[in-house]
Structure 1
Amino acid sequence: MKFTPLAAVITLSALSPSLSAEQVGPWNLDALKNNVPAMKWLRQDQPIHSLTYAGEKYQGHDTEVFAFYASPTTLGEAKAGTKFPAVVCIHGGGGTAFAEWVQLWAKRGYAAIAMDLNGSRPPEVEFDAKGIAIGNGHRGTRTRLPSGGPPHGHPEKFDSIKTTDTSDDWPFHAAASVMRAHTLLRSFPEVDAEHTAVTGISWGGYTTCLVASLDDRFKAAVPVYGCGFLHEGESVQKPSIDKLGDHKAKWVKEYDPGSLLPRCRVPIMFVNGTNDVHYVLDSYMKSYNVVPGEKHMRIQVKMPHGHPPGWAPQEIGLFIDSKCRDSKPLPILGQPRIDGDTVRVNVNSRPPIKLKSAALHYTKDGGLRSKREWVTVPAAIFDITPSTNDAIIKLYKITAPKPPSEANTWYLSVTDERDAMVSTPVVLKP
């Protein structure tokens, strides 16, 4: 399949921003959302295509961003002319554009783009005997692009805030490159531009939080691990932010997602583990709490941290499907409440999906959250759907014994008959 995106010859840097352009921090949102970046295909002879597109200026020079692209059509599983919803995939620290990630989404029926935010490109894609992309991002040598943007290092993430020029700041480039990729993706003839989503892992989850707060064209966002309030609590990024001294407040204002998430109106699902050392539950809940719009949560006891574990949860696809393909949504949980000797929460579920199980999770341990042990207790499920409901929505009540008085952190989760798990907000004792 070969095609040219609409207006692909227009470069963003060649256009003068409007006097009325919407500016948030260093980002010109009007330019990023309305001007399709120049791009060129590198390979279209494989099921997963490769390309570069124009990025922001870096150190006074034009840049390009490498990306992989795939869809059911490029995989040979759909006819040319078919339109698909689309998803933007953002890698985390140490990552790159992952060919297997876009292939996973293409097999789900999406057009997908995954870019490298390190100014580099991974090795060429290789396929196994079944045509599945081999982990290109975890093998071989990555090549620095001659006109690549800032590398994905601590100096570029943090220390560059000390200069007056934002064009050397990695967070600025990362969010801008994602929005440029989104604009490019929406211009492809086979993409349903009104049904797009974004998901990212670790630093990609951090960037997802930024982008979901800046780019209101997305119908769904799923940050995995990543969050804001990195300058607080046990975040492993806190020491680097503290070292900024007089520039700390500026970094927090411009680049900490906690400062931008109050803008977020994109339906968002936060996915994390109880013991994640990079994005700790305290900061995670603060990030969740400041989102004013629709929000959901999936917290897994001791969820491992990494790229394949980060894109593995099926709930990511189910949530995005519910927003981009009008499929059955995940159960919706209310705020958990302690009522006497029990803890309870109400749950809405769309028929015919039924709840399968529920549980209370808590920890009594102190010290670093990444080291705490958790206890899981089964919870009871009661169908409380009113007889007048006509089965439009099933209503459930979940109850479990009240967490012990020594418990300092707890939440409830439910699993439906698809084995999809979602959870309540996490309750943290002061």
Structure 2
Amino acid sequence: MRYLNYLFLLQYKPTIKRQVLGFLVLFLTLCSNAEGQTNTLNKSSINLQETNGPRWVKGELVKAGVLNTPDFSFTDDFGAYQQFSNIKGLFFNGLDYNGKQTKVFCWYGVPNGLKTGEKRPAVVLVHGGGGTAFPGWIKEWTDRGYIAIAVALEGQVPGEKVEHSNGEKLWPGHEFSGPRRIGFFEDVVTKKLEDQWFYHAVADVMLATSLLKSFPEVDVESIGISGISWGGILTNVITGIDDRYAFAIPVYGCGFLHETPHYSSLLTHLNKEQRQFYLQNWEPSLYIPLQEHPTLFVNGTNDFHFTMNSFTKTYETSKNEKHLYVEHNMKHGHSPGWEPEEIYAFADYVVKKGTQPLIPRFKRLRKNNELVYGYNGKVTKVYLYYTTDTADWGRDNYTWEQTTMHFSDSKKIISGKLPENSQAYFVNIIDSEGLMYSSPMRMVKKNSH
């Protein structure tokens, strides 16, 4: 029963359990006659009496018109920054900000050689903090046969970064810009929902999706979404309330941010009302159990912002088809975030009937510390990663050690010795095409295997 996914919310602190229980009761009532039905994103599915949580946010966005095709126009104003002939700029109308109409800049690209009447799969690209709409990111997708749209989420337009009086370097903006991000949700409560940056960012991505669906060259059943860092956070939230995506690939960004060293510290800068608003309305872990599409979760072992404890918990909370790519010491950034070939292979698997990703499945950890996994497909290499210290997930000297494991393609078994004093571990397997996929991290239970 899909609504039972909400039970995971009860892990939150007692200060918000009362609200969560109230929400659960209301949701059970609404869904009591809907068992087995497919969730659709339409106005009739929204209970507008709710005043917090994903259904309330979804209702406000639907009322604002994010499912409608926005007015748009292509632009040649930024020809100096048009790096590729198959990628061009456009503006579409965003939601009102402070009572005034906004416009959102995007780069839009199609594969070279696209024929009239031909349809291709597409992807919406969601940048992270300090980023913008990157033509190079679009080209990675168009070179592989996808249509792609990259959305500038803080009112940016192409150009060089400009240093402001406070020393911060920002991308240039324009007169119809929406809000910029203010720290870690520092504008919640201080501004109405419809004027908060995160609300506009979610809306802009959903509007870009609505725009894609209106283009005749787009296969509307094969639209995916991929976001990097803050874009990964947004991807996890958006796909919990918008079921129009065929696949999702959040990179770095995850849920349970209040359990990471970095973001839990930033949350202390908010007052009690702001923290509660975030936990009840924007925390990605509220949205992840609502997702219905195949997802590839991508991260590095030592990411400062999105640590392995919260990242793994995000993966485990997901109820849909899911796969993992965890790179040892992966750098944090936009370019490193779109480089892994596994990202594009995963999209091909979903919308082009490509090869299914390898799935290492934990079988047992014996008393002699022998670790056993099963797998599917053809394997060429297997690596075990383990750490002997999980006291502080964000500590600078936190390390993962690598060792090889044995595997049998005839028996589809992986085996190896887990070193003594290991506290957490996971496995990476590499297939015959050199693609790498990961098992979820597991914690070692003391005196129990």
Separation of aligned partners in 1, 2:211 and 2:68: 9
Give the 5 Å matches for 1:309-328: 309-328=336-355
1:47 to 58, 82, 86: 86
Separation of aligned partners in 2, 1:163 and 1:20: 29
Q: Secondary structure at the match of 2:142?
A: helix
Structure 2 unmatched ranges of 5 or more: 1-41, 49-54, 80-84, 161-168
Partner of 2:149: 113
Q: How many pairs align?
A: 378
- Alpha-carbon contact 2:384-2:428 (below 8 Å) kept: yes
String of CA shifts for 1:36-67, please: whole Å, max 9, x gaps.
11111113984211001121221111111110
Which range is displaced more, 372-381 or 42-51? 42-51
Is 1:345 paired with 2:373? yes
1:153 to 178, 182, 200: 182
> Which residue identity lines up with residue 179 of structure 2 in the other structure?
P
Structure 1 position 329, deviation (Å): 1.6
Q: 1:369 to 1:297 in 2, by over 3 A?
A: farther
Is 1:356 paired with 2:380? yes
- Alpha-carbon contact 2:181-2:198 (below 8 Å) kept: no
1:177 to 171, 189, 204: 204
Q: Secondary structure at the match of 1:175?
A: helix
Is 1:423 paired with 2:404? no
String of CA shifts for 1:198-256, please: whole Å, max 9, x gaps.
1111111111111121211111111110011111231x222222222322122112111
2:425 to 398, 403, 410: 410
Q: Secondary structure at the match of 1:414?
A: strand
Partner of 1:240: 266
Partner of 1:69: 108
Give the 5 Å matches for 1:285-296: 285-296=312-323
1:380 to 398, 406, 409: 406
- Alpha-carbon contact 2:121-2:220 (below 8 Å) kept: yes
Structure 1 position 277, deviation (Å): 0.3
Q: Secondary structure at the match of 2:376?
A: strand
Q: Secondary structure at the match of 1:221?
A: strand
Structure 1 position 400, deviation (Å): 1.3
Structure 1 position 335, deviation (Å): 3.3
TM-score norm. by structure 2 comes to 0.79
RMSD of equivalent CA atoms: 2.2
Partner of 1:221: 248
- Alpha-carbon contact 2:323-2:357 (below 8 Å) kept: no
Separation of aligned partners in 1, 2:363 and 2:333: 30
String of CA shifts for 1:17-54, please: whole Å, max 9, x gaps.
95654662323364656311111111398421100112
Which range is displaced more, 408-417 or 55-64? 55-64
> Which residue identity lines up with residue 101 of structure 2 in the other structure?
D
1:266 to 290, 293, 299: 293
- Alpha-carbon contact 1:122-1:143 (below 8 Å) kept: yes
> Which residue identity lines up with residue 360 of structure 1 in the other structure?
L
Separation of aligned partners in 2, 1:302 and 1:273: 6
Q: Secondary structure at the match of 2:205?
A: helix
- Alpha-carbon contact 2:385-2:402 (below 8 Å) kept: yes
Separation of aligned partners in 2, 1:80 and 1:246: 56
String of CA shifts for 1:313-343, please: whole Å, max 9, x gaps.
0000011111111111211222353134311
Q: Secondary structure at the match of 2:198?
A: helix
Separation of aligned partners in 1, 2:367 and 2:290: 37
Structure 1 position 285, deviation (Å): 1.2
- Alpha-carbon contact 1:343-1:403 (below 8 Å) kept: no
Give the 5 Å matches for 1:3-42: 18=43, 21=46, 24-28=55-59, 30=62, 34-42=67-75
Q: 1:22 to 1:42 in 2, by over 3 A?
A: farther
Separation of aligned partners in 1, 2:329 and 2:141: 25
Identical pairs, percent? 34
Give the 5 Å matches for 1:274-289: 274-289=301-316
Structure 1 unmatched ranges of 5 or more: 1-16, 125-139, 386-395
> Which residue identity lines up with residue 37 of structure 1 in the other structure?
P
- Alpha-carbon contact 1:383-1:397 (below 8 Å) kept: yes
- Alpha-carbon contact 1:27-1:172 (below 8 Å) kept: no
Separation of aligned partners in 2, 1:83 and 1:19: 31
Q: 1:18 to 1:301 in 2, by over 3 A?
A: closer
Q: Secondary structure at the match of 2:238?
A: helix
String of CA shifts for 1:123-145, please: whole Å, max 9, x gaps.
29xxxxxxxxxxxxxxx973212
Separation of aligned partners in 1, 2:245 and 2:43: 23
